[in-house]
Amino acid sequence: MFFIALIAASMVLQSCSEFNQVVKSDDYAKKLEVANEYYEKGMKPKMKKFRNEPKLKSNGEFRLNTNYLLHSVTLYEQIYQRMPKSGEGELAYFRIGKAYYHAEDYYMAGYYLGSFTQRFPVSVKCQEALFTSAMCSVNNSPEFSLDQQDTELAINDLQQFINRYPDSELVDSCNKIMDRLRFKLERKDFEGVKQYAKTEDYRAAVASSLSFLETHPRSTFKEEAWFILVKNSSLLAKNSIDTKKRERVEEAIERCHTFAAEFPTSDYREAVLDLQRELEKEL
């Protein structure tokens, strides 16, 4: 085992030495040859053309592939700097973005792939670059409980792809991903409504539930959001000063009627009817 480890270490050192020699060399044909070699090694196991390929596992094999990919980036950057308007420069710039993407550095990948379409607007790789750039934003989208700026950016990027390539076979995938991202935004907004209700901030719960229902009229949380609206409208009315009480009680009763009409078989129906009876007594 010791000798095997020694041989493996020797091979790694030799590979690093060869890489450093190519980096320092002025032979750009050799740089491109070695960059392509590293890129192909880094892309194993073989990936599908656009996506949706499975992520590489975080094991030794993944780290090895990542090292190859990042070595290819170093060489491709030199090639692009030397020949930015050439076919070699185009390939190098594209593969820098793809290498970062498969190394799961989605911010760097998004930068290169997003700007690729501007630098090479007539390239046959533009569609793949734009889609993969959008997928970088998708991968950067965090859990629903966190700030959703990256989620909104991902939706925007996917929509831009659809607008530019409406006949692409990837449009259906984009729409499905956008639905998933919109649900994440919807869930975050609804959790905010629930939080106001939980802390008994009646005014904020009413305002946030109204805003939620206006923003997400077909939400899967619509019924529960309406119940939060009715319940907190009732509590706000009961706890109002005399000059505002009657108006708020009548408004809460009207919302009870609307809920009953909108959700006739709801599990909340009896609770809403109880609230309505209490409100009518307040009048």
- Domains with residue ranges and CATH for the chain: 20-140 (1.25.40), 189-282 (1.25.40.10)
**Tell me: the pLDDT tens digits for 185-212?**
999 999 999 999 999 999 999 999 999 9
Is residue 49 pLDDT above 50, yes or no?
no
Query: What was the pLDDT predicted at 66?
Result: 87
Is residue 154 pLDDT above 60, yes or no?
yes
Place of tokens 């907004």: 189
Label residue 45 by pLDDT band (50, 70, 90): low
Query: What was the pLDDT predicted at 120?
Result: 97
Residues making up the chain, counted from first to last: 283
The whole-number average pLDDT for the span 224-243 is: 96
At residue 148's C-alpha, the angle toward residues 145 and 150, to 5°, is: 135
Torsion angle (degrees, nearest 10) of CA 275, 276, 282, 283: 170
Collect contacts of 29-32 with beta carbons under 8 A, ≥24 apart: 31/75, 31/78, 31/79, 32/75, 32/79, 32/88, 32/92
Is residue 63 pLDDT above 60, yes or no?
no
The whole-number average pLDDT for the span 219-241 is: 96
Q: Please give the structure tokens belonging to residue 52.
A: 């949706």
What is the distance in angstroms between the CA of the first residue and the CA of the last residue of the chain? 88
